[in-house]
Amino acid sequence: MSKSSPRRFAGKSTGTVTVIEARVHRSSARNARVAFILTAVVVGVLAAVVAASYWHPIVALIVGALVGVPCGAAAWLLVRIWPVLRLLWWWITEVLLAVLLLTGWVQLAGHTPMVVTLLVVALVVGVPAAVPVIRRQVIAWAWCLVVRHRLRVCFAQFIIANQSGSLPLILWARPTPVGERVWVYLRPGLSAKDLEGRLDKIAVTCHASTVLIERAAENNAAYLRFDIKRREVLTAHVGSPLVDQIDPTAPVSASPLTVPTALDLPDVDAPTITLPAQGKPAGKKPAPTTSANGSKPAASSSAPEDDVSDWI
């Protein structure tokens, strides 16, 4: 559904403002016709069967037609305006806030003097801006509204939608200590795996540092939760409640604190361990033997009395 302007500015056309894409418009029209026929036939037949037990069959058919056609028309209308309802759902929070603020301003200006009106407006605007706790909460909820629209931009720009052109349904969002958490319901033709490869682009679009995606329900793969992180809270200084448990009037010990620098155990008797001598046992040295011709025998690599375990 688009709106074209016939006016020209400086000899050029002002262009076309597209509210609903042409593919979505054609798809909703086709689905509306199918919904009308199916609902009218089913409801009409059921109504005729029920009416046939009380009236003549011809009268029952007329009653079935009178009941089925309006029900089919209601189904046609609901399916036909679904793209508009989805568009209103995306902006429902902003629309309600605008209506609330405008109604409050009109009622306040119509029942109070101008000085009182300006004073009330100054208090409503100035108190949240001056109190840090309220200001942070207002900013956090404002980011939730912004993130919902930024995610919709992501889905419309680089995520392949289904054949009917319907985008995932962004349900609601709430602030977290590190950013925002958004719940999204995927339509047919899209899965979480398709989104996991585009987390960096989603983070850029949402003006965040990182984005995580996980299932919001174990039994439904279409129900996802987006955790958008834009700040780090683990590096902040957190006050410990243990400090308040110390009695400030408790006396401080005057004895110096001795820090041990070495292990000293004077009361433990350490036995003296003597290692055995390697090779032949200590004792009397045997006399050298000579051969028959008077020469000394060749040195042996291993004496018979040597312990073989010393060489292993």
Tens place of pLDDT for every residue, the chain, 312 residues? 444 444 444 444 444 445 556 666 677 788 888 889 999 999 999 999 999 888 888 888 999 999 999 999 999 998 888 888 888 888 888 999 999 999 988 888 888 888 888 898 888 888 888 888 999 999 999 999 999 999 988 888 877 655 556 678 888 899 998 999 999 998 887 888 888 888 998 999 898 999 999 999 889 999 999 999 988 777 766 677 777 777 777 776 656 666 666 666 666 666 777 777 655 555 555 555 555 555 555 555 445 555 555 555
Q: What is the DSSP letter of 81?
A: T
Q: Please list, in sequence order, all residues whose beta carbon lies within 8 angstroms of the beta carbon of residue 176, skipping any fewer than 6 positions away.
A: 227
Give the tokens for residue 146: 């912004």
Residue 59's identity, in one-letter code, is V
Angle at 209 between CA 204 and CA 215, to 5 degrees: 90
Chain centroid offset of residue 201 CA: 15
Angle at 138 between CA 132 and CA 140, to 5 degrees: 100
Q: Using CA atoms, how far apart are residues 109 and 235, in angstroms rounded to an integer?
A: 48
Give the tokens for residue 164: 């009917």
Q: Is the pTM of this model over 0.75?
A: no
Place of tokens 């200006």: 109
